[in-house]
Chains A and B, each alone.
Chain A
Amino acid sequence: MMALLKVEDIHTYYGDSYVLQGVSLEVKRGEVVALLGRNGAGKTTTLRTIMGIIKPRRGKILFKGVDITPMPAFKVARMGIGYVPQGRRLFPEMTVLENLKTGMRKKGNGDKLDEIFDLFPALKDRLSQKASTLSGGEQQALSIARALLTEPEILLLDEPTTGLMPLLVSRLREVIEKLHEDGMAILLVEEKVPFALSVAERLYFMVKGKIAYEGSRRDLEDKRDVFIRYLGVKN
């Protein structure tokens, strides 16, 4: 089957600093894939490059077989890639409802909004509240909800568990599982290895701007050394 998202050997720079040194990965339709790596490995930069926020100097990004590399971010988003950035990046001065509306491109998708409230009931009572006044968990919910309203076929999640207490982390796991059941593809950047292992079918390990290892969850079951080698952590 053709990959939904295919990243082919991208090289991305910030000015002179050579950050992504040939990253290739792919996500199939409906697949949940994790991208792991130490701080500074280039995970966020990979997602930003996929989104078209920064342009790679070399390499290609294909989405549904279309070369999206030259597209501006708004076109990439409209193609069907939803972005939940590191640090949430809500529009702090706008209300919860207004934040949600930034994602609602198509008119009359009120049904979509109801689905969102099924997934994140807490948001429903906070619609007229400013986004900046939400708790950490609610902010993360809003950031994901906003991205889902663009009706993506794949969701890029950048460290969604950061700052969430354990109960909320397992809530988030349920949300991801639910989205997965509904056929959403997800590329998850994570620092919490157990969390990534519990939701992702396949995992990539990134070291210094390169993919150092790729394997399925099953492959990794008896390879704890991989985690130590690439992440410097004991799982």
Chain B
Amino acid sequence: MPEGVGFILFYLINGLIWGLIIALISLGLSLIFGVMGIVNMAHGDIYMIGAVLSFYFVSLFGNFWISLLIVPLIVALIAAPTERFILRPFEGHPSVTMIATVGISFILQQVALATFGGIPKKISSPWEVSFDFLGVSYPGYRLLVAAISALIIIGVWLFLYRTSLGILIRASMQDKEMASAMGINVNKVLIGTFVLGSVLAAIGGVLAAPISQVFYLMGNDVILLCFIVVIVGGLGSLEGTLIAALLLSSVEGAMAAFLTPTEARAMIFIIMVAVLMLRPQGLFGSNSA
């Protein structure tokens, strides 16, 4: 066990790395909510499916990196018809779509339980290297996860803010009716957003698989934190989501040095309540939201 400054740093970095994964997943949740108006209760289970599929790919091919490429594709192929045939028919009825996503969540969990089983499993680290700094030996794979997550987040960001497709997505996010009156096929934007959001969750699951346990209920824990992140960041604000993810995860990570995980999570709830009392619209939410 590390000591002193290194000790706290170790937990802080752990929290930050986890925060980047959470940011990745929350960004997907936030996009789906912002563009589609859907509270996706199955988002955490898509993360779980990412991890479970990754487990299978690793046992099949013995190569983790293949799964990082293929699993998002498989999830995209599942997400597209899910949007088109399950969510689209209820477009504009938020409570119905929310119930539909609860159903999807249940189905994904049961399918995972039936095939993968109910016992948590581990994937061995795909990169058995560790780095020493400040007297702490730190697993290289975790740093790699942080780097990959950060790159993907930057990539999504550039896509949304620097490409013409991104403009169409953000326009639909702000005013769907006006977007379609400008000639934007909003239905395509909706399906694209659901696929993108789901893929982000699945990538999160693949990346997290070697540093956590693969388990059919692993999404429950993550979805809770992601909802807190999206609420604290401000509904509909993508930058709020990113900042809240990094902030809350670092705090939770640092507190894990002194508190039990349950106590640390309780602190996150307290922070959420405090933020919402001071700013009901969240850190970056607009007043009208």
Contact = CB atoms under 8 A, between A and B. Distances in A.
Which DSSP category, helix, strand, loop or mixed, fits chain B's interface? helix
Given A102-B168, A102-B171, A91 B183 contact: no
B175 interface: yes
A102 B182 contact: yes
Contacts of B180: 53, 72-74, 77
Nearest to B170: A94
Interface string B152-188: 0000000000001001101100110111111111110
A206 B181 CA distance: 24
B182 A94 contact: no
B181 A77 contact: yes
A9 interface: no
21 contacts: A53-B180, A72-B180, A74-B184, A74-B186, A77-B180, A77-B181, A78-B183, A85-B178, A91-B170, A91-B178, A93-B170, A93-B174, A94-B167, A94-B170, A94-B171, A94-B174, A98-B167, A98-B170, A101-B167, A146-B182, A147-B182
A89 B182 CA distance: 11
A187 to B, nearest CB: 14
A150 B171 contact: no
Interface residues of B, number: 18
B175 A91 contact: yes
Most chain A CB within 10 A, of B167, B168, B177, is at B167
Interface in A81-96: 83, 85, 89, 91-94
A102 B179 contact: yes
B205 to A, nearest CB: 30
A77 B182 contact: yes
A112 interface: no
Given A94-B167, A101-B164, A74 B174 contact: no
Interface of A: 51, 53, 72-74, 76-78, 83, 85, 89, 91-94, 98, 101-105, 146-147, 150
Contact of A150 (B170, B178, B183, B187): B183
A127 B183 CA distance: 21
Given A74-B186, A91-B178, 11 more contacts: A72-B180, A74-B183, A76-B181, A77-B180, A83-B181, A89-B178, A91-B171, A91-B174, A93-B174, A104-B164, A147-B182
A123 B234 CA distance: 31
Contacts of B182: 74, 77, 83, 102-103, 146-147, 150
Nearest to A54: B177
Nearest to A73: B180
B137 to A, nearest CB: 45
A51 B178 CA distance: 10
B170 A85 contact: no
A105 B168 CA distance: 10
Contacts of A94: 167, 170-171, 174
B183 A92 contact: no
A50 B180 CA distance: 13
Contact of A89 (B164, B167, B175, B186): B175
Contacts of A98: 167, 170-171
Interface string B202-232: 0000000000000000000000000000000
A104 B167 CA distance: 11
Contact of B181 (A51, A92, A105): A51
A83 B179 CA distance: 11
Nearest to B166: A98
A82 B152 CA distance: 37
A85 B178 CA distance: 8
A105 B180 CA distance: 12
Contacts of B183: 74, 77-78, 103, 105, 150
A102 to B, nearest CB: 5
Contacts of A150: 182-183
Contacts of B177: 53, 73
Nearest to B184: A74
A147 B177 CA distance: 14
A102 B189 CA distance: 13
Nearest to B176: A73
Contacts of B181: 51, 53, 73-74, 76-77, 83, 85
A89 B174 CA distance: 10
Given A73-B177, A94-B174, A102 B167 contact: yes
